[in-house]
Amino acid sequence: MCKHVLNAQVSIRAPCCKQWFDCAECHAETQDHRLAKTTEMAFACKKCKKAFRKDMVNYEESDEFCPHCDNHYVIDAKTPQAALGIEGEDARIDARLLKDDRIKQDPKRSLFGQDFSDRVG
């Protein structure tokens, strides 16, 4: 588990420096080079601790599961911000919160529905 993605299910091996990272940001913080891109990623499942490789070119839905323990490792990243209770999944909502202070001050307004406030704003 790293501080960027709280619910990371796998570690990823950086092809450039051959080290394991929980996410690309961990690599960026600890290394002074860019994360290299590769067509074949090496993963390590955090559940069963086994490593596996995936071809990123022909990546399919079934590839989102650990081949050893069927752990679904491709999930929405839970960031520290989201853990504080702010729903950050919908980019539209985020943008509106930043733009419109009224909605921020009165959370009940959002209960009327997103379409309504979209039309008014």
> Where on the chain is the footprint of Zn ion (CB under 5 A)?
2, 4, 14, 16-17, 22-23, 25-26, 31, 45, 47-48, 66, 68-69, 71
| CB closer to Zn ion, 12 vs 45 | 45
Minimum CB distance to Zn ion smaller for 16 or for 93: 16
Question: Whole-angstrom Cα distance, residue 90 to residue 22?
Answer: 24
- Cβ neighbours of residue 121 under 8 Å, at least 6 residues apart? 96, 99, 100
Tell me the CA distances in angstroms from 6 to 43, 69, 78, 106, one per residue in order. 17, 21, 5, 29
User: At closest approach, how far in Å is the CB of 11 from Zn ion?
Assistant: 10
Smallest gap from residue 39 Cβ to Zn ion (A) = 16
Nearer to Zn ion, 13 or 96 (CB): 13
